[in-house]
Amino acid sequence: MAKILVFAELHGTHVKGVTLEILGKLAGHTVEVAAIGTIPGEATADMAKFGAAKIHSLKGSNLDKYSPEGYANALQGFIKAGNYDYVFAGATSLGKDLFPRLATKFDAGMVSEVTNFIMEGDKFSGTRPLFAGKCFAKVELQGPKPYFVTVRPNALGMNANPTAAAGAVDESAVDAGAIRAMIKEIVKGTSEKLDLTEANIIVSGGRAMKDAANFKILEDMANVIGATVGASRAAVDSGFAPHAMQVGQTGKTVAPSLYIACGISGAIQHLAGMRTSKVIVAINSDPDAPIFTKADYGIVGDLFQVVPLMTQEFKNLLGK
């Protein structure tokens, strides 16, 4: 049996959803988890519920703030000592920054941003979108182990019937080594909402929003249905929304259960970032807008009329 480690990312008292998605997908295998720092009880319980046999809390100096060098050095030592065959993480901003560096340290194979995978015995096989999601490659790993894999958040979905495991917590001392570039401060965005890449529902606005203030109607809808607000590049370039909200080839890649595109034409570069959404709803005044060819549901109409009506209807349905 392959020895598998999942690198867990914590967010306050919670573990990020993608960590649980990976654990759920690995049901039937003995899987260990490692996270940097103290792991809150709630996160420990969730990881045990989704099949973590052992949960390693990695502690050492200079690890209180994320630094790619420090985390990579610390994990390198831990992975080597544990002799793991596979190491998984979410393809989050941190995972995308850390894992290639880690794989390089081992001169090992890595697969980035898989949207699905299977482990048959010791053999990994994954699916990876290519050319902005226009085609999918089947990928396998070879050469010396350990192998590194990052998984796109929301792509696997949660295992509805996870197999629980012991989730025994164990503390290990790790060494961050020499850090040449130290992160002094992390300034968080003002929004309390889930980051776009983790959001289960996204309401996005395009150039048709006309003004930053008009995003309020999308925020209102998002608040009712528990969504995060995104934007097209045209909206971002026009100054209606910050770049952190941009979905697409040069923005964020998202895979929510529901993506509501408001006044977005459906350019290839926008589709690149959201085409793997489970259900796409498009609101556009132009019946020939390309977004309708990708949408599961389309509403031809003026978003300034349709969005408030939908918000009201959601409120009625949800009793809010």
Ligand X SMILES: Cc1cc2nc3c(=O)[nH]c(=O)nc-3n(C[C@H](O)[C@H](O)[C@H](O)COP(=O)(O)OP(=O)(O)OC[C@H]3O[C@@H](n4cnc5c(N)ncnc54)[C@H](O)[C@@H]3O)c2cc1C
Residues in region 85-144 near ligand X by CB under 6 A = none
165, 208, 224, 258: which one binds ligand X (CB under 6 A): 208
Edge to edge, the sheet with strand 116-120 lists 116-120, 123-130, 135-140
Which range binds ligand X by CB under 6 A, 47-55, 90-98, 265-273, 309-317?
Answer: 265-273
> What's the residue count for the chain?
320
Sequence-distant (≥ 6) Cβ neighbours of residue 101 within 8 angstroms? 68, 69, 72
Maximal C-alpha separation, the chain: 60
Pairing of strands 297-300, 279-284: parallel
Number of residues that bind ligand X (CB under 6 A): 28
16 counts as binding ligand X under rule CB under 6 A: no
249 counts as binding ligand X under rule CB under 6 A: yes
Planar angle of CA 37, 165, 27, nearest 5 degrees: 105
- Please state the closest distance from residue 249 (CB atom) to ligand X, in A: 4
263, 275, 280, 292: which one binds ligand X (CB under 6 A): 263
Which range binds ligand X by CB under 6 A, 68-76, 216-224, 263-271, 308-316?
Answer: 263-271
302, 309, 318, 320: which one binds ligand X (CB under 6 A): 302
The percent of the chain in helix, strand and coil, each rounded to the nearest 5, is 30, 30, 40
77 counts as binding ligand X under rule CB under 6 A: no
Question: What are the structure tokens assigned to 148, written together?
Answer: 């590194």
Which range binds ligand X by CB under 6 A, 34-42, 148-156, 213-221, 267-275?
Answer: 267-275
145 counts as binding ligand X under rule CB under 6 A: no
CB closer to ligand X out of 90 and 205:
205
CB 204 within 8 A of CB 214: no
Query: CA-to-CA distance for 198 and 88, rounded, in angstroms?
Result: 17
- Please state the closest distance from residue 308 (CB atom) to ligand X, in A: 12
CB closer to ligand X out of 154 and 284:
284
- Please state the closest distance from residue 121 (CB atom) to ligand X, in A: 39
Query: Beta-carbon neighbour count of residue 134 at 10 Å?
Result: 11
Question: What are the structure tokens assigned to 288, written together?
Answer: 């020939």
Pairing of strands 14-15, 10-11: antiparallel
CB 50 within 8 A of CB 20: yes
CB closer to ligand X out of 57 and 154:
154
311 counts as binding ligand X under rule CB under 6 A: no
- Please state the closest distance from residue 154 (CB atom) to ligand X, in A: 18
Which range binds ligand X by CB under 6 A, 136-144, 173-181, 214-222, 228-236?
Answer: 228-236
91, 284, 295, 311: which one binds ligand X (CB under 6 A): 284
* Local structure of 2: helix, strand or coil: coil
Query: CA-to-CA distance for 92 and 112, rounded, in angstroms?
Result: 11
* x/- letters, 188..207, toward ligand X (CB under 6 A): ------------------xx
Q: What residue ranges bind ligand X (CB under 6 A)?
A: 206-208, 232-235, 246-251, 263-265, 267, 269-270, 273, 283-286, 289, 302-304
